[in-house]
Structure 1
Amino acid sequence: MGALGALALAAAAVVVATPAAQAAGPDRLPVTVTNSSGRGDAVYLYVIGVNLATGRLGYANSSGTFTNWSGGALPPAAAPDVSIGGPGNGGSTTIQLPRGMSGRIYFSLGEKLKFFLTPDGLVQPAPWAAGDANANILFDWSEFTYNDAGIWLNSSQVDMFAVPHTVKVTGSGGTHSAGTLVADGRNNVVNQLKAQSGWASTVVTRADGTVLRVLAPGKAADAGKLSATYLDSYIASAWGAYSSKTLTVVPFADQPSTKYYGRTSGTVMSFTDGAGRQVASFNRPSSANVWGCDGNLAAPNDLVVGPIARTLCAALNRGTLGTVDTQPSTDASQFYRNSPTNQYARIIHANMADGKAYAFAFDDVGNFESLVNDASPTSAALVIEPFNGGGGSTPATGKALRNANGKCLDNNAQGTGNGNRIQIWDCNGTVAQQWTYVEAGSTLRVQGKCLDVAGGGTANGTKVQLWDCNGTGAQVFIRQNGGYYNPQSGRCLDDPAASTTNGTQSQIWDCNGTSAQRWTLG
């Protein structure tokens, strides 16, 4: 239990600014939990967190009443059973979330979770720690903050990947969802991690054969299931690269003129502002510091050191530090190309239907996190997804659109935002490559959106992108001579210079019948 004492619940898993505002959502927000797992286990729910008005730790019952924890001892004493009966397979249960609370919604399958109290707080389940009482229980959680400014709800894989689940919020902005895996995504993640050299032990299986979870690299290393120095060689190379060049950090997307400049001397990277004043310095981090975004990469809650630290940690996890010299990089096609790399984050992101996940602490840098929020919510939902099959794939009619040069047309990082880059990539069967050709309108579609000529351009070299289907000439591609012809421009869908380099953005070009313009759907 001593090892678990440090895991007492802190104030908020989701850090959100709380501006003065009128209450935008109901005092009790209905959250519907649906069980589509395909498993027969009983489900137990827990709403655990902090009262934002008082700072007191506690829990909420099914009707949304918050109660402070009391008691506690050393060694930790068993907490009262505050579980809420959840839905059976195919069913749903609605609970109420009180406004003014931040914390976690836990859900366990087959067995109730075990919580413990110390005089200082709550000891949460930590199955990566030796002797944890919940080590053999199948469970997971989502994190939330609900206050007068709205709700923030995210699925989290920062510590582990266990139970596939989608989070949803409905409100003034419509319905938003995150965390949905591609078809058979859970099995994909497990099997793909097992196939990576040195990572197989991060997959934890119960004696009855149930895969309980995949541990995130920091937790796996602490448990002796992954080399503690796994990322050290890459970190040293990336860190040392700035002894001979400058790293530019632009930490705020809405403040492009705020820049900091980093150079390395020995093992210390120092940053100056535009006036040449030193504003921060960081000792070279260890693998553990990168996995946890802490230690030498600790990010204080300020406007300079913290934002720089967050940016550095995201770049090291994604493998772009050392090669992309202006950070943060938001080009997902450049992520996880380093060796060794964060295979855990790479594989989880690749198996998310929208490409977004919270695979490490600052995965929100550049907005790659699996988060939904709404300023005026009316309801929320959590869906436990199928363990086998299921997922957020496109309809069965979706097929690979393969170029004659052997690569597939790919929606970058499975992003669904308007303007997302369409590129060529190794054919991999993910949702980002499941194209359908809709005869009515002659459109090519992926993930519910259309292939679009950027800006309705007509010039050679105009890039193609993802966009809401809108019936304009920029989205008309007629099958012709083994390719796809855009009548508005008079040009054809083209792989630039017949490239075979992953990430090359596709374009339109004069129709020429070369291999760069021959595409096979199927």
Structure 2
Amino acid sequence: MRASAKRRSLATVLAALALSFGPFLTQAAPQAQAAVPSTLPMTVTNNSGRSDQVYIYDIGTLLSTGQQGWADAGGTFHAWPAGANPPTAAPDASIAGPANGQTATINIPQFSGRIYFSYGQKLVFKLATGGLVQPAVQNPTDPNHNILFNWSEYTLNSSGLWLNSTQVDMFSAPYAVGVKNTAGTTQSTGHLKSGGYNGFFTSLKAQPGGWGNLIQTNSSGTILRALAPGHGIEAGTLSASAMSDYVNRVWTKYSTSKLTVTPFADQPNTKYFGTVSGNTMNFTDSTGAVVTSFQKPDSASIFGCDNLLDAPNDQVRGPISRTLCAGYNRSTLLTDANQPDTNSADFYQDTVTNQYARKIHEQMADGKAYAFAFDDVGNFESLVNDANPTRAYLTLDPFN
């Protein structure tokens, strides 16, 4: 387990990203924005086909105060008590979920947080001096390692609802999300194709290069999840050089040519130009001034979109890094010197690529997923957003 303050969470930045990178994350509402309610009903539907008891958790930061805590089924906020070192048990924040074939409604407050759900066992949360300790299943000693669970990330604030189906950390129990607005329009995303759950694991297991080692099972051999490749490197189950050959080829190409990055879809004249010198890729603006530089990234930085590809929430380095991260994971940097490449037919075509992300997208009913942190570049993320939400949806899907 690890303290939540140290985790990279999409939910904590969705609202900020929506402001800075609107073309990637937001959709224009068809009607004037109404007041967003302080709590929003969420319908949880269990279509899993499993008989296990389902437990639901709504955990996050209350945006009105900045306090960390959880919400009960009625949407009432409860602040976490103080933590300790070593961490102490957190209060039981679980909500009994619906049985297979049934639905239940919970109310979610204006949070930036996560909706966790688990099958058969309650999750273990603890409180350290730095805050909540959340599951980190790349750690084999984590108390949640052998529990089947997953989560969705969301931000509900005065600007609306952002709710995703995420595989940034792992691919596990299948689910989809949705939102209904005041006009009665419903959006949904996250559903797998028929057979997509088993198809993903079968394909990943067969992929050369050790990608099948990302799959984790329980003691009886039942599949629990596949780790995202960055966590696989951290856990020692995927080679730290998984992307090295591709990076070397990118470095060679842009030592003698120029990479053009146009990071904002609504600002086509804002361009940055990258060239490699030694171990550094320097980016200049239209005046020729160097605006930021990146050291040659390793595989972990590519899969995590962090470290050597850090992306601060600014207007220059962050947007360039987001674009590079998408280009590396999708392996489009060699075939298109103008980035981002937003033609999905170009994605994952190199033999060296993020095979985990490729296989997830192949199995999604709408082709969209959050298979790495900046999968939203070009609008390929599994996210619903509405400025006028009246109801949210979480659907636990079949394991087939």
Query: TM-score normalised to the size of structure 1?
Result: 0.72
Query: How is 1:93-492 mapped onto 2 (pairs within 5 angstroms)?
Result: 93-99=104-110, 101-172=111-182, 174-197=185-208, 198-388=210-400
SS in 1 for 2:14: coil
Specify the SS of the correspondent of 1:53.
Answer: coil
- Structure 1 residue 129 displacement after superposition: 1.2
Distance 1:65 1:5, change over 3 A: closer
Contact 2:41 2:108 in 1 (8 A): yes
* Structure with larger Rg: 1
Deviation at 1:28, TM superposition (A): 1.6
CA distance in 2, matches of 1:209, 1:287: 29
**How much has 1:234 moved relative to structure 2?**
0.7
Judging changes above 3 Å, is the alpha-carbon distance between structure 1 residues 221 and 384 closer, same or farther for their aligned structure 2 residues? same
1: CA distance between counterparts of 2:294 and 2:227? 28
CA drift of 1:196 comes to: 0.3
> Which structure carries more relative contact order (alpha carbon 8 Å, separation 6+)?
2
CA contact (8 A) 1:242 1:322 kept: no
Letter in 1 for 2:272: Y
Aligned pair count reads 384
Per the alignment, do residues 310 and 259 of structure 1 end up closer, same or farther by CA in structure 2, a change over 3 Å counting? Answer: same
Identity of aligned residues (%): 56
CA drift at 1:200: 1.4
Residues 1:54 and 1:7: Cα distance change in structure 2 (over 3 Å):
closer
Instruction: Judge which range, 8-17 or 26-35, deviates more.
Output: 8-17
Please state whether the residue corresponding to 2:156 is helix, strand or coil. Answer: strand
**Over residues 360-404 of structure 1, what are the superposed CA-to-partner deviations in whole Å (9 max), with x where a residue is unaligned?**
01000111000001100010110000102xxxxxxxxxxxxxxxx
Tell me which amino acid in the other structure corresponds to 1:73.
A
For 2:243 and 2:396, locate their aligned partners in 1 and report how far apart those are by CA, in whole Å: 33
Deviations 1:180-217 (A, max 9, x none): 10001110111000000111111111122321001110
Check whether the contact 2:160–2:388 (CA below 8 A) recurs between aligned residues: yes
Pair 1:77-2:76 in alignment: no
Match of 1:27 among 38, 63, 73: 38
2 CA distance for matches of 1:331 and 1:9?
Answer: 31
The amino acid that maps onto 2:195 is: D
Question: What is the CA deviation profile of residues 55-110 of structure 1, one whole-angstrom value per residue up to 9, with x for unaligned ones?
Answer: 211111100011111121111111111100001110111000112x1100000001
Matching residue of 1:505: none
2:15 equivalent in structure 1: 16
Q: Is the partner of 2:112 in helix, strand or coil?
A: strand
Cα distance in 2 for partners of 1:6, 1:116 equals 10
| 2: CA distance, partners of 1:196 / 1:331 | 24
How far off its partner does 1:22 sit?
A: 7.7
The 8 Å contact of residues 283 and 290 in structure 2, kept in 1 or not, is answered as yes
Q: CA deviation at 1:27?
A: 2.1
Q: Could you tell me whether the CA contact under 8 Å between 1:290 and 1:297 is conserved in 2? A: yes
Amino acid at match of 2:307: G
| Aligned-residue CA RMSD (Å) | 1.6
CA shift for structure 1 position 169: 0.2
C-alpha distance in structure 2 between counterparts of 1:124 and 1:284, whole Å? 31
For residue 7 of structure 1, report the CA deviation from its aligned partner: 5.9
Shift of the 224–134 alpha-carbon distance from structure 1 to 2, 3 Å rule, reads: same
Q: Secondary structure at the match of 1:26?
A: coil
Shift of 1:353: 0.6
The CA distance in 1 between the partners of 2:194 and 2:132, in whole Å, is 36
Contact kept in structure 2, 1:311 and 1:328, CA below 8 Å: yes
Please show how residues 46-61 of structure 1 align to structure 2 within 5 Å.
46-61=57-72
Alignment of 1:66 onto 2:77 = yes
Counterpart of 1:134 in structure 2: which amino acid? N
8 Å CA contact retained: 1:8, 1:123:
no
AA matched with 2:172: A
Q: Is the 2:174–2:398 contact (alpha carbons within 8 Å) kept by the matching residues of 1?
A: yes
Secondary structure in 2 aligned to 1:237?
A: helix
Q: Which runs of 5+ in 2 are unaligned?
A: 20-31
